[in-house]
Amino acid sequence: MTAPTVPASAGAAPPTDRPSPETGSSGDGPKTGPRRSLTPYWLLLPAGLWLAVFFVSPFFYQASTSVQSGSLEEGFRVTWDFSNYSDALATYGEHFLRSFLYASFATLLCLLIGYPLAYMIAFRAGRWRGLLLVMVIAPFFTSFLIRTLAWKTILSDGGPVVGVLESVHILDVTSLLGLTGDDRLLATPLAVVCGLTYNFLPFMILPLYSSLERIDLSLHEAARDLYAKPATVFRKVTFPLSLPGVVAGTLLTFIPASGDYINAQLLGSPNTQMVGNAIQKQFLNVLDYPAAAAMSFILMAIILIVVTIYMRRAGTEELV
């Protein structure tokens, strides 16, 4: 090196040629006026109000409900009765377990189905890319309920799907695994998992696609140039770079799937009920609001813990 000073000094700190956005939240210095530093708060206002009315207040309302006792006739009062929580866990522990099991299965299936598709759309689709993306979101053009009802027909006893799976003895395998029984698909755990997978698949594909699509193709070329076989290019470059999409996609699938009750209601049986069904029943049929609220909070707490552990593990901040 003839004159190492130039790059060495330039590299002493990360390049700062991009001006950092003015957040206005702290230490703006004397140059920025008060009006400018308020702008971010104005921008936050609509979402803030919305969340205050439709999330924060119901949150506290339900929190208080969850520690009430009484009955519908006599009215509920806050008695700090935490037995609602222990009772809910004792009675519906199985429902919680089932919810997370089904949601995990569905998330895994979504990833296995969605990743190849997102990969294909991002790298191989050429001019069909737009059309394929529209097709991914096309199911949203009809309602969630209608689509799930359609699955009821698809999986119905004596229907073509059951017939085919029966004739190739797949149903025997799944029945051995405890996913189906009595040579039927409807009203089995498999049907619920299939419904969840189908309904949440776009939430997996879209984040996967957007993170794959951002990968610079020259990175693939660089990897191939550096002796990586196609499979290694995927393992060492493409997949690690798509991890933010994997994390976002799994969260967007897992979280709503674990709280879902429509799929279990329409495609399952009393033996496949998820915690969402239990909450719904408590709220709308039994009218035991404190129990329903307690269950909601338990569900929320478990999801928060699971997601926190997951995000820590995935270390998403290291990426991108």
Name the one range near another protein by CB under 8 A: 9-17, 143-151, 253-261, 276-284: 9-17
279 φ, ψ to 5°? Answer: -65, -45
Is position 219 an interface residue for another protein (rule: CB under 8 A)?
A: yes
AA letter at 44: L
> Which positions ≥6 away from 276 have C-beta within 8 Å?
99, 259, 260, 261, 264
Single out the residue of 117, 171, 190, 237 in contact with another protein (rule: CB under 8 A): 237
Is position 4 an interface residue for another protein (rule: CB under 8 A)? Answer: yes
Identity of the residue, 36 or 229, whose beta carbon is nearer to another protein in the bound complex? 229
Distance CA 175, CA 173 (A): 5
Q: Which of 241, 202, 203, 25 is nearest to 123 (CA)?
A: 241
DSSP character string of 107-122: HHHHHHHHHHHHHIII
Site for another protein (CB under 8 A): which residue of 145, 222, 286, 304? 222
246: CB partners within 8 A, 6+ apart = 111, 115, 208, 211, 314
Check residue 319 for interaction with another protein (CB under 8 A): yes
Site for another protein in 121-160 (CB under 8 A): none
Residues that contact another protein, how many (by CB under 8 A): 31
Distance in angstroms between the alpha carbons of the first and the last residue of the chain: 32
Does position 7 bind another protein by CB under 8 A?
yes
Count CB atoms within 10 A of the CB of residue 65.
20
Helices and strands (H and E) in the chain: how many: 15, 2
Q: How far is the CB of 30 from another protein (least distance, A)?
A: 31
Specify the stretch interacting with another protein by CB under 8 A; choose among 145-153, 159-167, 229-237, 252-260. 229-237
Q: Which of 26, 218, 312, 317 binds another protein (CB under 8 A)?
A: 218
Identity of the residue, 226 or 286, whose beta carbon is nearer to another protein in the bound complex = 226
Radius of gyration of the chain (CA): 25
Interacting residue with another protein among 90, 146, 176, 320 (CB under 8 A): 320
Q: Does 314 contact another protein by CB under 8 A?
A: no
Q: Does 224 bind another protein (CB under 8 A)?
A: yes
Among 11, 21, 46, 75, binds another protein (CB under 8 A): 11
Give the nearer residue to another protein in terms of CB position, either 176 or 320: 320
- Could you give the angle at the alpha carbon of 291 between the alpha carbons of 288 and 295, nearest 5°? 140
Residues at the site binding another protein, with contacts judged by CB under 8 A: 1-4, 6-8, 10-11, 14-15, 216, 218-219, 221-229, 232, 236-237, 240-241, 318-320
